[in-house]
């Protein structure tokens, strides 16, 4: 049976709010946490972007739930050796309840140091090499690595968990999914698409965990919820590669008028219809996902958790 977790949004909430949401998630019956890793929010209306590793430290003391980044880009903004140290420490602090979700990243977060933003195939090459570096460091042995994209000299992590940190790979297309199936400890994707799950499993992923996530906006007034989604998260409905190549929040704001309220109604669960919320999560379960995470858009977090605790989670498989 699938597990159901809560997806903490670092783009929309500050550290204290995220920790409180994690507590409410555990009390509501969610069994795991995802947390996003951003330098910028997608737009100024979201308005936050705390350093994820600091928040994970606080979460490790606040709750007993497993925690995973969804997702970290260990290739451009942050060197994989540094990500490895952060992930290893997180795993120690959570007594082995931490997984490292990784992906090829977005220019929004990764271009800030002024370097080039590589094309997708190069970013996947960088990601694979970064994973190799991190796995060697997780052993606690001294590592020197002279690769195509990264150099590491005489690096050793002294604080490491008893077992290496599992690395799950995010993929939204066949090439990234193939990488996940070949070298990942699990697979992450954001749409309940059974063919992608099948590609991962048949390509070498086997029975390794497949995780997915979705955003909803609970509220008694459905139209108000639609407006909240359009104001805060229009970026999730932009097509194609724009999410990966646009460099600043202001660029996403320029495209926000392309997202209409009708698009939100058709593509995002809004309001308090229990059946709609259940169906959205059940779609992932039916597609073969093992772990399903949901994020509440907007300020009514307590209402959301009460709603899911009493009406939604009890109906899920």
106, 110, 129, 193: which one is catalytic?
Answer: 106
| The two structure tokens encoding residue 134 | 């991190």
- Is 111 catalytic? The answer is no
State the alpha helices, DSSP H only, in 7-119.
15-28, 52-62, 80-93, 107-110
Residues 57 and 34: their CA atoms lie apart, in Å, by 14
Helix (H, G, I), strand (E, B) or coil at 147: coil
Please choose, from the candidates 169, 164, 203, 201, the residue with its C-alpha nearest in 3D space to the C-alpha of residue 185.
169
Catalytic: 12?
A: no
Q: How far apart are CA 142 and CA 136, in angstroms?
A: 9
Q: Among residues 12, 38, 68, 277, which one is catalytic? A: 38
Fill in the DSSP letter of residue 166. P
Contact criterion met (CB below 8 Å) for 181 and 175: no
Tokens of 17: 């709010």
Residues counted in the chain: 317
Q: Which residues are catalytic?
A: 38, 106
């Amino acid at each position: 049976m699938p597990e159901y977790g809560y997806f903490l949004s670092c783009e929309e909430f500050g550290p204290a709010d995220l920790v409180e949401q994690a507590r409410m998630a555990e009390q509501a019956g969610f069994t795991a946490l995802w947390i996003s890793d951003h330098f910028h929010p997608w737009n100024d209306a979201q308005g936050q972007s705390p350093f994820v590793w600091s928040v994970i430290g606080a979460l490790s003391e606040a709750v007993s739930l497993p925690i995973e980044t969804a997702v970290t880009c260990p290739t451009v903004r942050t060197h994989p050796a540094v990500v490895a140290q952060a992930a290893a420490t997180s795993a120690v602090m959570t007594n082995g309840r931490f997984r490292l979700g990784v992906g090829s990243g977005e220019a929004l977060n990764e271009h800030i140091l002024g370097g080039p933003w590589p094309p997708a195939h190069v970013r996947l090459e960088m990601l694979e090499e970064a994973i190799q570096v991190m796995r060697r460091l997780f052993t606690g042995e001294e590592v020197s690595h002279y690769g195509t994209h990264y150099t590491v000299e005489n690096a050793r992590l002294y604080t490491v968990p008893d077992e290496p940190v599992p690395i799950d790979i995010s993929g939204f297309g066949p090439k990234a999914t193939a990488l996940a199936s070949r070298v990942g400890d699990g697979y992450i994707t954001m749409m309940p698409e059974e063919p992608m799950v099948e590609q991962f499993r048949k390509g070498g992923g086997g029975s390794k965990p497949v995780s997915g996530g979705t955003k909803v906006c609970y509220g008694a007034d459905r139209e108000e919820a639609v407006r909240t989604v359009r104001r805060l998260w229009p970026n999730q409905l932009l097509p194609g590669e724009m999410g990966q190549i646009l460099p600043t929040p202001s660029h996403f704001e320029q495209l926000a008028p392309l997202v209409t309220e009708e698009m939100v109604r058709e593509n995002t669960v809004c309001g308090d219809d229990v059946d709609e919320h259940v169906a959205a999560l059940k779609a992932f379960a039916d597609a073969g996902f093992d772990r399903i995470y949901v994020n509440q858009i907007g300020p009514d977090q307590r209402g959301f958790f009460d709603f899911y605790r009493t009406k939604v989670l009890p109906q899920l498989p």
